[in-house]
Amino acid sequence: MHLGLHDTTLPELVRTKFAKAKTDGELIFSATQLDIIQTKSGTPFQLRYCPALAKKPKADKDSQAPKTSKPDPFDEPSPSLLVASVPEHKPTHIIVLNKYPVISQHFILATKTNKQQTHMLEPEDLSAAYACIREWEEATGGRLFGFFNSGDHSGASQAHRHLQFLPVDEMKRDQNHDEEWEPLIELILKSQSSESGMRSLPDFPFKHFAMALPTDPSTEQLHATYTQLYDAASEAVRSHIENSDDLTLHPSEGGDSDISYNLALTSTGMAICPRRREAAVLHDEAGKEVVSVALNGTILAGTLMVKLESEWEGLKKDAGQLDSVLEAVGIPA
């Protein structure tokens, strides 16, 4: 697929729209503090501290109050946030800005019609996503990280199907020059592959799978890679369930996936991690449970964000807690 953007480029559209929406107050950009921490095996993770997000109201999942329908941000999105409908002729997707970004130029690719986030991605979803990545990188020379959250334990916040994108240069903007960090998916793709082409990092806290993509992959190749990764994630979940009682399969009536997972996509590969929890508990020095940290698909970029100073300080002081968090939200390796 080609996006069909004439007389401009995707990065230029996103940059221009983002700057105007920010100036006009149509999106709320929250600055973060950034530090680099590591797993016990030495894998670097970005740790972001964003106290502004702690002020956002959050629905009580245990509340007995009647639930009202949640507005769909991708159904007739605000013109100030709508970047484009793609492809130009017979659009299947829309590109919109994230209304509450912590990374500049964070944008979203959503289906034009309301399809379910919990259903499997379709070939045209992957084709449109890869077109965004390809056209971004051709125009800027910089990398784009794409991710997809699916299922109750994945960190997904909207039911309308969408993938999200972050410019890697913007992710690294506040990073000290002497600190080494690259997106986790890139590190996985550099690891040794099996005969089937599957890759994973040794000594990593949770199960994950990645596969390299050929140069200029076809829609069929993208979908075949996604299916192969999904099958590996599904098998890992089922194997875990056989030996543990802390997870069950999701109901799959109506086409829903019966597992929660995060998917990552770059121009060179695709990665997946099955999930068993959305959040993990942090402990203080006395071992007391203090707060929980929620993670979404940016976990496959090697980044996590906290809202409270206690989370920020706790993860920096005790590197072992990072491994505990990752193991708790994923399927233990």
CB atoms within 10 A of CB 251: 9
pLDDT at 197 over 60: yes
Confidence at 295, pLDDT banded by 50, 70, 90: very high
Does residue 225 lie within any of the structural domains? yes
- Listing DSSP states for 203-229 in one string gives T-SB--EEEE--SS--HHHHHHHHHHH
In whole angstroms, what is the distance from residue 154 CA to residue 48 CA?
19
pLDDT at 147 over 60: yes
Does residue 134 lie within any of the structural domains? yes
Which residues, at least 6 apart from 230, have a Cβ–Cβ distance to it below 8 Å?
120, 257, 261, 272
pLDDT at 209 over 90: yes
8 Å CB contact between 284 and 27: no
At 59-112, the pLDDT tens digits run 444 445 555 578 899 999 999 999 999 998 899 999 999 999 999 999 999 999
251-261 mean pLDDT: 95
Does residue 46 lie within any of the structural domains? yes
Does residue 291 lie within any of the structural domains? yes
Number of domains in the chain: 1
At 23-71, the pLDDT tens digits run 999 999 999 999 999 999 999 999 999 998 776 655 444 445 555 578 8
Does residue 3 lie within any of the structural domains? no
More confident residue, 290 or 203: 203
8 Å CB contact between 85 and 93: yes
Does residue 304 lie within any of the structural domains? yes
Coil, helix or strand at residue 44: strand
What's the chain's Rg over C-alpha atoms?
19
Does residue 5 lie within any of the structural domains? no
pLDDT of residue 177: 80
Q: What b-and-e string marks burial along 192-211, b requiring 16 or more CB atoms within 10 Å of the CB? A: eeeeeeebbbeebbbbbbbb
Choice among 148-152, 158-162, 177-181, 222-226 with the minimum mean pLDDT:
177-181
> What is the extent of the structural domain holding 24?
10-54+76-245+259-329
CB atoms within 10 A of CB 165: 23
Long-range pairs of 48-51 with CB within 8 A, sequence gap ≥ 24:
48/102, 48/303, 48/304, 48/305, 48/306, 49/305, 49/306, 49/307, 49/309, 49/311, 49/312, 50/102, 50/305, 50/306, 50/307, 51/307, 51/308, 51/309
* Kind of pairing between the strands at 44-49 and 303-306: parallel
245-268 mean pLDDT: 96
**What amino acid occupies position 289?**
E
Q: What b-and-e string marks burial along 167-179, b requiring 16 or more CB atoms within 10 Å of the CB? A: bbebbbeeeeeee
pLDDT of residue 167: 98
Confidence at 230, pLDDT banded by 50, 70, 90: very high
| Domain CATH for 101 | 3.30.428.70
Beta-ladder partners of 322: none
pLDDT of residue 56: 60
pTM summary value? 0.94
pLDDT at 234 over 70: yes
Does residue 90 lie within any of the structural domains? yes
